[in-house]
Structure 1
Amino acid sequence: MHDVVIVGAGPVGLFLACELGLVGCSVLVLEREPEPHSPFKAQPLGMRGLSVASVEAFYRRGMLHPLRTASGAHDDFDGNPGPNPDADEPSPPRGVGHFAGMVLDPAKVDVAALPFRLPGPATEHMLTYLEAVETVLSEQASHLGVEIRRGVTVSAIAQDDESVVAHAGEHEFAARWVVGCDGGRSAVRRLAGFEFIGTQPQFTGYTMHATVADPEKLRPWFNLTPTGMYLQMPTQGHIGMMDFDGGAFDRSQQPTRDHLQAVLRHVSGTDVTLSDVHIASSFTDRAMQTTTYRRGRVLLAGDAAHIHSPLGGQGLNTGIGDAMNLGWKLAATVHGYAPDGLLDTYTRERHPIGAAVLDWSRAQVAAMRPDPHGQAVQGVMRDLIETRDGTTYVFERMSGSSIRYELGSEHPLVGRNAPDLRLEDGTRLGDLMRDGRGVALDFSTDEYLRGSARGWESRMRYAAGPARNDLGLGAVLVRPDGVVAWADDRTPDPEAFERAAGHWFGGPES
């Protein structure tokens, strides 16, 4: 029997498998598709943007450099040197993205207003593609002893108080826990009886790689029009479209060249011609979420728990956040040292994040509607994102820096993603997190917390010394997912630290 069976070998399932394998869990990943390669994962249709929070997740596990290499990514989008991670002050972001197709100016981001931002190797979002992400994660999973079986379709799930069994044809896969990371049409979600609720689509979206006979008739990048939206990417022939038909076409039939050309002409207001369509797919802005992320011994993460339109590239990033949040909590439960209720904090913390992403997607759709109401909202939004405050707000939402879990503390840093604090000897917080343990950073000259940290060595790492920029902190306790669990602005209080450590990591080891 495995500790955990993960259904789905996409980025979310593989990232979760790596998190569990990193701390010694026995993990089996089941994937329906027999082969990992697909034209929808390769360039150009497989292109995805990783938010700052997701880039930090790869960085903290030592996978950022391999991912950059696999993605063919430069430090900057134009090949110029990126920001200096050793600088004293954080630099402005070089890319912000868009809201509802309205591209934002990164120069208008107020860096001083960003909460606890410090220079580091992972302060920018990153362009990659799914095949590169899955390749890096698969290699890491294999290195950690994770078993991946492909061509396996789960057809039934049965659980009791002690275990859960995933049935696939004549085969049975028993585990203490099963996690569904099997996408928007999740079999695990359906078979385990999760309630899935939300709103119906407003549009059918299309993405395609095509040969355009007259590309000069299409403007580059995002174009909101009186009849919809189209996007012409720099990659030749990579086009996206949104047709506000109520989602009528999506998956009703395979999009043909004639249909795609008709939609492109409609939303662009041109007589552009598609000579050939090499590959195409459709999607909608259907926004749905399960009411809980756990039923007994079955949990969900990523698109299995929440679906929405791809506007803003939030789906993959939200899923990676789910995996980071769940991984260490499930591992602590498997190993038997999790405090009571720890696993339930997964739903409590991540469900509101998923709900907020669904609303963020709905708001963009409302602003893109080609009717007088949508046009009016769009006008207001254009005015707002022309302001410094408006651009900064959107950047915070899209980068993940605005996320803060309610952990019962008034300290402004607690519940947030930890900045990449750096000790005077050059050691960064990210360097200390590669083994999947939490980190206690003690900036006091007398190392007040060294004795208090004893007993949790297998669950947290202790590091002490002056910091290059300690943000006025005396000490900070960081969970394995990078979230600040406790912080003290004064001389650290060992008793308060011990209470926080026990709350998140259980009792000290004997």
Structure 2
Amino acid sequence: MNHDADVVVAGGGPVGLMLACELALAKVSVVVLERLTDVDTTIKAGAINSPTAEAFYRRGMLPGLAEAQREAFERFGSFLRQRRAAGATGVKQPPKFAGHFAGIMLRGDLLDASDPDFDGPGPAAEVGLVPQEALERLLGARAAELGVDLRRGVTLTGFDAGEDGVQVHTSEGSLRTGRLVGCDGGRSTVRRLAGFPFPGTAPEITGRQALVEMTGADALGAGWNWTSTGTYAHGPLPGRILTVEFDGPPADREAPVTAEELEASLRKVSGVADVRIHKVLSATRFTDNARQVPDYRAGRVLLAGDAAHVHSPFGGQGLNLGIGDAMNLGWKLAATVRGWAPEGLLDTYTAERHPLGAWVLEWTRAQVALMRPESHTRALRGVLAELTGTVDATTFFAKKISGAGQRYDLPGSHPLTGRSAPDLVLSDGTRLAGHLHGGQGLLLDLADDGEVRKRAAGYGDRLRVLTAGCPERPGLAGLLVRPDGATAWAADSPGGPDAPDELDAALRRWFGTPDAAAA
């Protein structure tokens, strides 16, 4: 079949754009279909976790994240100044933020920074407060640099998937492709038309988040607040509010969110009768609908992000989970398209990402349960709030929320195997992340071992081989890093007798068969 593009991605939000960038980096032609004509400015996620920051760092985009965070901190400072000017008492800069669980804030000054799970991100650890809109703009610019064909204002209307390709139908005609990936959100058209099962739990709450212009806000508590009628949050940006009511899902999620609706909800949940909302700048509704497809692939059709899993936004996991899907899928799909993928490589996408998605669903369900406005839940919340005042509990929850310590169940006995590769500082002054900008795999020979380099011969542009020392980890002899940053093999010095064979197995498992002529 002649294809108009190797891959068509439905959905040009952060997940679809990240996937498209990964494919383009691997010289795979990709078309992105996005129904919106411009970047979505609706208020959504406000932060990223460690794996997401590392992913951008490894592709050379950390400066853009840092600038977006600087702007976010300026808006946070503006919120504090407005609170003080309005006469709100007790307004002060909070301790270093380490996340929250069900609105229970985690204090960064109680975090055990020596925990080994926090060791490794390098400069990426300094970036976190990045709004989704800024992330999408950064990825849009990156996609343009890489030559991604982003078609805005184009809607996917249907498709026909066969054994040799997919005919994709859009509002502007049809195109042929080898693979179709649905990154088109929680109400995914691709998922529905492909017939993916979507089991899970039905919604029980109505949540609203908005940026508004209002008066009477000085009577609202800053941060997260629980009342007998629900939960609300105020800040950390000027005019940002969030309410949660526990009396069922909204009657119509598609209806515009009005100032009257937001004002009524905020008054009901906060008990502040004098608050008035005069203008809605951005608003959205959400529920705790929690569902996940059992398999992220059906033949030539795949899903990523909210198309594969939906849940409430508590804990800020959704955007990050989707970026992780894109990073995991991108290089594997590219390898499949280019013809060098070892057998079963694409199947590892579901095998590795589904368990993380299932955990996020349970994590968000637990938070909804802990936010309910009834006496037994309030008592339990009090116990947990006291518990999170300890170093051990803060460290446990912060590791989960930040994604630190996430790992895939990969073959190999070394403690680093399956973990995000540490951002090693090498003897030539470079850092590991800087050698991943091209989206290839990386084999670090840290012991100047000719046998290691011999095993890596014949992989061409699939794999970079670098011999360098690492003074900060003199006991580490070698590291094999997949394109997504996961450690596929590691060995200490002196390596055991099986280390070369384990390396050979890892190379073939993730990078296929080397070219015999070059090996």
TM-score, length basis structure 1 = 0.92
SS at match of 2:380: helix
Alignment counterpart, residue 363 of structure 2, candidates 360, 372, 377: 360
SS at match of 1:4: strand
Provide the C-alpha distance between the structure 2 equivalents of 1:354 and 1:270, rounded to a whole number of angstroms.
Answer: 38
Unaligned residue ranges in structure 2 (runs of 5+): 78-94
Quote the residue 1:145 is aligned against.
147
Could you say if the C-alpha distance between residues 257 and 338 of structure 1 is closer, same or farther in structure 2, counting changes exceeding 3 Å? same
Unaligned residue ranges in structure 1 (runs of 5+): 80-92
Could you say if the C-alpha distance between residues 192 and 272 of structure 1 is closer, same or farther in structure 2, counting changes exceeding 3 Å? same
Quote the residue 2:243 is aligned against.
241
Within 5 Å, which residues of 2 pair with 1:12-27? 12-27=15-30
Render the CA deviation track for 1:102-150: whole Å, top value 9, x for unaligned: 1011121112223261362101342222332222212211221210111
CA contact (8 A) 2:72 2:131 kept: no
SS at match of 1:122: helix
Provide the C-alpha distance between the structure 2 equivalents of 1:202 and 1:395, rounded to a whole number of angstroms.
Answer: 27
Higher mean alpha-carbon deviation, 206-215 vs 250-259, is at 250-259
1:54 maps to 2:60: no
Which amino acid in the other structure matches residue 233 of structure 1? G
Measure how far apart 1:71 and its partner are: 5.4
Within 5 Å, which residues of 2 pair with 1:171-186? 171-186=173-188
Within 5 Å, which residues of 2 pair with 1:238-387? 238-249=240-251, 251=253, 253-279=255-281, 280-387=283-390
CA contact (8 A) 2:118 2:404 kept: no
Alignment counterpart, residue 498 of structure 1, candidates 495, 498, 504: 504
Alignment counterpart, residue 137 of structure 2, candidates 118, 135, 138: 135
Provide the C-alpha distance between the structure 2 equivalents of 1:471 and 1:413, rounded to a whole number of angstroms.
Answer: 15
SS at match of 1:311: coil
Higher mean alpha-carbon deviation, 433-442 vs 380-389, is at 380-389
Higher mean alpha-carbon deviation, 476-485 vs 143-152, is at 143-152
Could you say if the C-alpha distance between residues 215 and 333 of structure 1 is closer, same or farther in structure 2, counting changes exceeding 3 Å? same
CA contact (8 A) 1:30 1:148 kept: yes
Within 5 Å, which residues of 2 pair with 1:345-494? 345-470=348-473, 472-492=475-495, 493-494=499-500
Alignment counterpart, residue 161 of structure 1, candidates 148, 156, 163: 163
Provide the C-alpha distance between the structure 1 equivalents of 2:60 and 2:274, rounded to a whole number of angstroms.
Answer: 46
Provide the C-alpha distance between the structure 2 equivalents of 1:78 and 1:220, rounded to a whole number of angstroms.
Answer: 12
SS at match of 1:121: helix
Provide the C-alpha distance between the structure 1 equivalents of 2:475 and 2:383, rounded to a whole number of angstroms.
Answer: 39
SS at match of 2:381: helix
Provide the C-alpha distance between the structure 1 equivalents of 2:412 and 2:478, rounded to a whole number of angstroms.
Answer: 15
Measure how far apart 1:76 and its partner are: 10
Provide the C-alpha distance between the structure 2 equivalents of 1:13 and 1:463, rounded to a whole number of angstroms.
Answer: 31
Which portions of structure 1, spanning 4 or more consecutive aligned residues, are displaced by more than 6 angstroms? 74-79
CA RMSD of aligned residues (A): 2.1
1:509 maps to 2:515: yes
% identical aligned pairs:
48
Render the CA deviation track for 1:386-438: whole Å, top value 9, x for unaligned: 12111111111111113111113232211111111121211111000000001
Provide the C-alpha distance between the structure 1 equivalents of 2:480 and 2:105, rounded to a whole number of angstroms.
Answer: 37
CA contact (8 A) 2:45 2:319 kept: no
Provide the C-alpha distance between the structure 2 equivalents of 1:394 and 1:245, rounded to a whole number of angstroms.
Answer: 28
CA contact (8 A) 2:205 2:245 kept: yes
How many pairs were matched up?
Answer: 492
Quote the residue 2:82 is aligned against.
none
Measure how far apart 1:73 and its partner are: 4.3
CA contact (8 A) 1:337 1:506 kept: yes
Higher mean alpha-carbon deviation, 204-213 vs 360-369, is at 204-213
SS at match of 2:213: strand
Could you say if the C-alpha distance between residues 74 and 217 of structure 1 is closer, same or farther in structure 2, counting changes exceeding 3 Å? closer
Higher mean alpha-carbon deviation, 122-131 vs 397-406, is at 122-131
TM-score, length basis structure 2 = 0.90
Quote the residue 2:33 is aligned against.
30
